[in-house]
Amino acid sequence: MTGDACLRRRLRAVPKRSLSPDAIAAAALALGDRDGQAAMSMRRIAAELGCDPMAIYRHFPNREALLDAVADLALAGVVTDQSAGAGPGEGSGFGWEGRLTTLLSDVREAALRHPGIAGHIASRPPLGVNGLRLHGVLDEALVAAGLSRADVVKATQALIAYLAAALAMAVRAGERDERWHQVSEALGHKTDSGAPDREVDSAHLPIVGSAEQFAFGLRLLVNGIRVEGQRNSV
């Protein structure tokens, strides 16, 4: 059974009136999946559980703490044993580059499958059981890249910041609208000197918040980490 299948089974198994931190977080996640981010109020979550809003405060000191728990639960399905069933090649799970790329891509995809909490994940990366589990995989990949302990900390911060920003853009993902065409034309028709440059056209400009844009930026970061690791090994 896949991680997402286990999570769906867990959500269905929550009794309506069984109040515990896990049950409240599961009900809130299901509500957000169904009705979106606007539904993630204490009142709506309490109504979903069939309880008074004050009952939730016995388990969470405030709404932010509850959303932190929901965000962590949303990442429960991200698999960290990336070598299972993988083949050779980039993103396959072999090598630190593949582990890092797969991890961040999977976290992005998992967050976007839960529209009610994706924005919160972008603004406050989870620090619960699942968040720490995923951080451990990231840490191991950066150590394997040859970074010093100090650079591992800095690289982790940079990668999380990139993921958070990319996720925030993905929540509000654009489309090829009038503004996109204006930007594409501006980029495609000017060089650094201001001269016309017809080689860059609209086909080269990804949609803001798209998976294509995320993958390209992540590849740039991975290449930079590789250079830093090689510098440390000299």
pLDDT (tens digit, 9 = 90+) per residue, 12-64?
A: 545 455 689 999 999 999 999 999 999 999 999 999 999 999 999 999 999 99
Locate 174 and state its tokens.
């654009």
Locate 122 and state its tokens.
């972008």
pLDDT of residue 177: 57
Which phi and psi (to 5°) does residue 220 adopt? -65, -45
Tell me, rounded to whole angstroms, the distance of Cα 21 from its chain centroid: 23
pLDDT of residue 86: 41
Instruction: Please report the sign of the dihedral spanned by the C-alpha atoms of residue 129, residue 130, residue 136, residue 139.
Output: negative
> Phi-psi bin for 135: left (phi > 0), alpha (psi -120 to 50), beta?
alpha
Instruction: Spell out the domains of the chain, with CATH numbers in brackets.
Output: 3-74 (1.10.10.60), 95-173+208-233 (1.10.357.10)
Locate 123 and state its tokens.
């603004």
User: Rounded CA gap, 121 and 16, in Å?
Assistant: 25
pLDDT of residue 172: 73
H/E stretch holding 108: helix 95-112
Could you report how far apart the first and last alpha carbons of the chain are, in Å? 45
Which pLDDT tens digits describe the chain residue by residue (234 residues)?
555 555 555 545 454 556 899 999 999 999 999 999 999 999 999 999 999 999 999 999 999 999 999 999 999 999 876 554 343 334 444 699 999 999 999 999 999 999 999 999 999 999 999 999 999 999 999 999 999 999 999 999 999 999 999 998 888 765 565 665 566 666 665 555 555 455 555 556 667 778 888 999 999 999 999 999 998 876
Amino acid at 153: V
Is the full-model pTM beyond 0.85? no
